[in-house]
């Protein structure tokens, strides 16, 4: 949930709150790209009796820019419909659920997938079943198989999944928002608190709702083939996800139906992790969620001069003297977050999509998956990781904190000497990632069940 509850209005609308976006060349199918958009932050596994589900009144979208104009040339849309099998019970399930069409599952959810491809529209799937939430071992004795049955083949090398998953993002949420404390360095903090000095993964026991799509690279690349030149802008795509609601809602009697009408209005969007949460100021966060990446020049100054970069030397006196003295534009952060990294800065690497500043998760399709992934991505010498797209296990908090602290500034300003702490600051030094991921699509792990949560 790198952008969970990141803006005042969307924090009140969790089913439309886009928490994370991932885009990576699939490690087990390297001729495909996996795109993931997560919604509904901080799902407690014991969520009954009304367990979490996608919004039937929300239009979910994943956008792909494959020509560098900061606009979605390819859009995948997802619409959901929830049914009630037995209206006379309060129970989510009335017995063991052994299959997706099991009559004991009282509130199944189905969805459609539509592709907009350069103005051409086609349906990829209708009435596709989601898996239920993982209620507990009594209700769903073989949840893994139940969820695997919800991976649907759309034909032409495409697969889709929509449903509950284990939260893959990790962060010391309690520490970060307590005056930007980094527990391993808190003895150096302006307000010392020499308690636990190991980062705490405060969200390791929650779930999330995932929309995952696996698509052949040749289908979404600018050339219509598998790119081979990692320095070419034509090898790079930009990805972002949105949630939209219709403009008006009409309510009848308290027990009557609601009616949604009017044009769709964007209420949430996300590409790079943490940008709206940490970079954009409070007064602009709702506007950010309603605007398009192509219009992000209005927010450029907050990337060029991030507030957190000014706070670090204040909160950690003497730890970041060079960063405190730096008064220039953060061209490194602009490249990482808003334009992509131009060719020549990192050997045999580029995520550049053009000079138009736009928050897009940029992925170089010509760079194959890493045989030995480093969760620090490009900062850790692994060109297949963030900010080249984003894999499910990439430690984006540590990467971005190091970048903001000045570790990436020498890439564009060789005269800048980063402070020693910039290269070693970390959020969680050794996160416990057991059970968080799968080795194949949809890559995020089996969600925790509500019955057994205390021992998870």
What does the pLDDT look like over 380-393, one tens digit per residue? 999 999 999 999 99
Tell me the C-alpha to C-alpha distance, in Å, between residue 216 and each of 26, 154, 223, 244, 365. Answer: 10, 12, 13, 26, 11
Write out the two tokens for 167: 């939260």
Going 406 to 410 to 414 to 418, the CA torsion angle's sign is: positive
C-alpha–C-alpha distance, residues 232 and 223, integer Å: 12
In a domain, 229, yes or no: yes
Percent of the chain with pLDDT over 70: 97
In a domain, 5, yes or no: no
Is a pLDDT exceeding 90 seen at residue 365? yes
In a domain, 448, yes or no: no
The mean pLDDT value for 238-247 works out to 96
In a domain, 139, yes or no: yes
Is a pLDDT exceeding 70 seen at residue 415? yes
Number of compact structural domains in the chain:
1
Tell me the pTM. Answer: 0.95
In a domain, 217, yes or no: yes
In a domain, 269, yes or no: yes
More confident residue, 290 or 180: 290
Q: What band does 195 get if pLDDT is binned at 50, 70 and 90?
A: low
Q: What band does 21 get if pLDDT is binned at 50, 70 and 90?
A: very high
Contact 197, 184 (CB under 8 A): yes
pLDDT of residue 1: 46
The predicted-structure confidence for 127-142, as pLDDT tens digits, reads as follows 999 999 999 999 999 9
In a domain, 2, yes or no: no
Is a pLDDT exceeding 70 seen at residue 121? yes
The mean pLDDT value for 210-228 works out to 96
The predicted-structure confidence for 299-330, as pLDDT tens digits, reads as follows 999 999 999 999 999 999 999 999 999 999 99
The parent domain of residue 89 ranges over 10-436
Query: In terms of Cα–Cα distance, which of 61, 45, 49, 42 is closest to 2?
Result: 42
In a domain, 83, yes or no: yes
C-alpha–C-alpha distance, residues 245 and 400, integer Å: 31
The mean pLDDT value for 253-262 works out to 76
């Amino acid at each position: 949930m790198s952008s969970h509850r990141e803006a005042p209005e969307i924090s009140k609308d969790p089913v439309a709150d886009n928490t994370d976006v991932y885009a990576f060349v699939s490690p087990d199918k390297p001729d495909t790209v996996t795109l993931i958009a997560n919604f509904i932050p901080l799902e407690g596994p014991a969520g009954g009796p009304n367990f979490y589900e996608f919004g039937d009144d929300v239009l979910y979208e994943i956008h792909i820019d494959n020509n560098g104009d900061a606009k979605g040339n390819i859009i995948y849309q997802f619409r959901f419909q929830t049914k009630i099998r037995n209206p006379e019970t309060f129970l989510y399930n009335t017995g063991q659920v052994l299959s997706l069409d099991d009559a004991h599952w009282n509130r199944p959810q189905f969805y459609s997938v539509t592709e907009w491809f350069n103005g051409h529209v086609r349906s990829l799937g209708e009435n596709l079943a989601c898996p239920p939430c993982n209620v507990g071992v009594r209700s769903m004795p073989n949840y893994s198989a139940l969820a695997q049955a919800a991976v649907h083949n759309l034909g032409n090398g495409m697969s889709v999944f929509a449903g509950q998953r284990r939260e893959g993002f990790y962060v010391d949420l309690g520490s970060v928002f307590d005056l930007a404390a980094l527990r391993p360095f808190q003895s150096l903090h302006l307000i010392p608190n020499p308690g636990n000095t190991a980062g705490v993964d405060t969200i390791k026991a929650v779930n999330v709702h995932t929309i995952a799509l696996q698509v052949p690279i040749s289908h979404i690349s600018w050339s219509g083939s598998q790119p081979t030149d990692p320095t070419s802008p034509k090898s790079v795509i930009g990805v972002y996800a949105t949630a939209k609601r219709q403009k008006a809602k009409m309510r009848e009697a308290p027990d009557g139906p609601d009616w949604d009408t009017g044009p769709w209005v964007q209420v949430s969007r996300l590409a790079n992790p943490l940008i709206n949460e940490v970079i954009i100021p409070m007064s602009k966060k709702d506007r950010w969620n309603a605007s398009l990446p192509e219009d992000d020049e209005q927010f450029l100054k907050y990337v060029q001069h991030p507030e957190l970069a000014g706070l670090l030397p204040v909160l950690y006196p003497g730890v970041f003297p060079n960063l405190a003295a730096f008064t220039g534009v953060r061209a490194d952060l602009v490249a990482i977050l808003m334009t992509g990294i131009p060719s020549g800065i990192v050997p045999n690497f580029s995520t550049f999509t053009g000079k138009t500043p736009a928050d897009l998760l940029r992925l170089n399709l010509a760079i194959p998956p890493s045989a030995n992934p480093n969760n620090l991505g490009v900062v850790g010498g692994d060109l297949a990781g963030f900010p080249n797209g984003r894999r499910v296990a990439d430690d984006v908090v540590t990467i971005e904190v190091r970048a903001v602290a000045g570790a990436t500034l020498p890439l564009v300003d060789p005269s800048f000497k980063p402070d020693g702490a910039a290269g070693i600051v970390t959020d969680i030094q050794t996160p416990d990632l057991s059970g968080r991921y799968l080795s194949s699509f949809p890559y995020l792990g089996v969600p925790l069940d509500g019955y057994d949560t205390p021992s998870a």
